[in-house]
Structures are given as C-alpha cells and as structure tokens.
Amino acid sequence: MPIGIDLGGTKIAGIRMADDGCVLSENRIATPKNDYRATLDAIVELVTSLDGGEDMPIGIGTPGACVPGLQIMQNCNSEWLNGKRLLPDLETRLGKRVRMANDADCFALSEAHFGAGRGYTSVFGVILGTGVGGGFVVEGRLLSGPNALTGEWGHTPLPYFRQRSREAFREDEHVNELLDALECALSPRTCYCGRLNCIETFLSGPGLARTHESLWGDARTPEELAAALDDEARKTFDLYCHMLARSLAQVVNIVDPHVIVLGGGLSKIDRLYPRLSDLIARYTFSGRCKTPILAPVGGDASGVRGAAWVWLDA
C-alpha cells in the first residue's frame, strides 16, 4: 500500500493508494517556493499525515530528474531543486527507501494503467501546463534511458518556427498564410534551461499567454484565453494548435505511440481535441495520423497516482 507524492503542481499533492490503484486518502500542501529545506519539511509533513505511523513505501514524482549515478536533481523548472540530493535527503529525513520519477512519467504511468491509455500497447503522456513534458509507457512500463531524458520533447526547438521570413515558407503547402504572418511577428524566446525557442516557451500555459500578449498587446491568463471566443483569442488559439501539432508530429515520427494522452492545465481545453489528429497528419512523414489524442481520465490526481505506482511497478 504505497504513498504517492507529486511535486509537479502549484501544490504538493499526496495520496495513500491501495495496491489495486484505489485512492484511500489524500492531502495537499502549498509548495514552498525557492526554499529547498522548506520543501523537504513539507514533503515529510505530507507523508506523516498520510502514513498514520505505518511503514509504507513512498513514490515521488518530481519536476526534472535525478541524474543517474550522481543522485542530484537536474532540469527542474522548480529551479531551487536543481543540484540538490533530493532522493538521499528524503530517505534520511523519512528513514525509509524512496523511489522517484519525473512527474510527466508519473502522469503517463497513471493514464496507462488507470486512465485514457488503458488497453493501448504504448502511451505517450504529455504535460501541457506551467511546463511542457512527457513520458512514454510501453506495455505498462516506463521507457527510460541512460540520460533520464525520455519524453522531454518540451526542450527541443519548436519545429518550423517561422520567425524570419515568410518568403522562405511560401512554397510550403502546409503553411496557413494568416497564421504564418502571426508567427513571424513573434520574437525569439529564451527558455529557463538556457536554450532558445524551446517548445515549452510556446506551448506551456505561460507560453500561450505570452504569444497572445505579443500579438495583440492584451494580457490574459491561459484560462481566460481558452474560454474566449473573440477573433483575436481565436487566432492565438489556432496558432497554438498548429504549433502543438507540428511538435507532436515529431513525436509520432520517432516513437509512433498507440495513443497520446494530454495532461496539465491546458488539457482541459475541450476544443483542442477534435482537430489535433488532422493537424498532426500535415506534419508526419506519411501525411497520416491515426493516433488517438485523448483527454486524461485521472485529471489532477493522475500524477500523484503514477507516483505511487512507481513503487508497485518496481
């Protein structure tokens, strides 16, 4: 009966889960920003509130990943975790073994076992939230490699970023001239990871809001944009869908998952789904995309269930 903790959201979420995946109890606690020690304290407090003094295995979903061999954190958008020995520090504080996985991997695991990806041979789980990440589950197991980077499509450059010249793309039959003109008006973006024009800087919630503000001088939250039906918001949203389709087409070209499940705050936008497969098809090698693009079943609880499953999976 494991405990799952998810550090990936605006709050730290925790559950106690039965071995069959049922959530027995849950709790949330505010994420202490920019304070590593307070983050450790918050996790210990959350675990204590859930385990009731019993000795339960702990699975933790984190942003970024633990560098294989070195046990230090890397690539966290909660940057105060980077370079810290989170896993050994938690094991010392809790006095028990802890297993850790990337939060997007936890989401993918959860949707593959309990959610929209159930029954599919391979599941690419996508996070479109404050950051952009992903995890790839094949036959129920997370695919992982020597760099602990599987699924990190968010930190590669946005494909076909039409930043400079519309002329260069005139011959491209896939280009929508209006959207192309909008995209050319956007400036290059620096990512927190230090690279330029990462997919995350365009497809995260803050990226979507920034695109809208750059184009129209109008500051709105991603939630407001998702609900808005005015012409400007619609154009921003169209451009977003095309950028997302181009980016996911690269995933389809490389690993060709049997299903893609969207997660994170932006996955709640219903009108994302009906057109996405068709848009992706424009950019795949074959010009087709039979891959279903599905909304998550587990909602906000998906990541934390996956974190608990990390332990059962072992």
Task: Pick the closer one to Zn ion by CB: 132 or 249.
Answer: 132
CB of 200 to Zn ion, least distance (A): 5
Angle between helices 177-184 and 231-255 (to 10 degrees): 90
CB 281, min distance to Zn ion, A? 27
Q: Are 266 and 205 a contacting pair, CB within 8 Å?
A: yes
Q: Residues 2, 17: contact at Cβ < 8 Å? A: yes
Q: Three-state DSSP class for 251?
A: helix
If the CB atoms of residues 17 and 158 are measured against Zn ion, the closer one turns out to be 158
- Cα dist from 192 to 12, 77, 140, 163, 201, whole Å: 22, 7, 32, 20, 9
Closest CB to Zn ion among residues 14, 134: 134
Instruction: Compute φ and ψ for 249, nearest 5 degrees.
Output: -60, -35
Tokens 């795949």 locate to: 284
Indicate the residue among 117 and 133 with the shorter CB distance to Zn ion: 133
Decide whether 90 or 203 has the Cβ nearer to Zn ion: 203
The DSSP output letter for 84 is -
Beta strands in the chain (DSSP E): 3-6, 11-17, 23-30, 58-62, 65-66, 73-74, 98-102, 122-128, 132-138, 141-142, 259-263, 293-294
Identity of the residue, 132 or 233, whose beta carbon is nearer to Zn ion in the bound complex: 132
Give whichever of 199 and 294 is closer to Zn ion, judged by the CB atom.
Answer: 199
Per-residue CA distances from 242 to 77, 114, 171, 232 (Å): 25, 30, 18, 16
Closer CB to Zn ion, residue 77 or residue 236? 77
CB 163 within 8 A of CB 188: yes
Among 115, 135, 116, smallest CA distance to 61 is for 135
Q: Token pair for residue 192?
A: 């927190």
CB of 154 to Zn ion, least distance (A): 7
Distance from the Cα of residue 177 to its chain's centroid? 30
- Nearest approach, Cβ of residue 198 and Zn ion (Å): 3
**Shortest Cβ distance from residue 95 to Zn ion (Å)?**
36
Let me know: does 148 contact 65? Beta carbons within 8 Å: yes
Smallest distance from the beta carbon of 191 to Zn ion, in angstroms? Answer: 3
Indicate the pairing of strand 58-62 with strand 259-263.
Answer: unpaired
In the complex, the smallest distance separating the C-beta of residue 187 from Zn ion, rounded to whole angstroms, is 16
Closest approach of Cβ 82 to Zn ion, in Å?
Answer: 13
Interface residues with Zn ion (CB under 5 A)?
155, 191, 193, 195, 198
Tokens of 240: 């977003």
Cβ at position 188, least distance to Zn ion in Å: 13
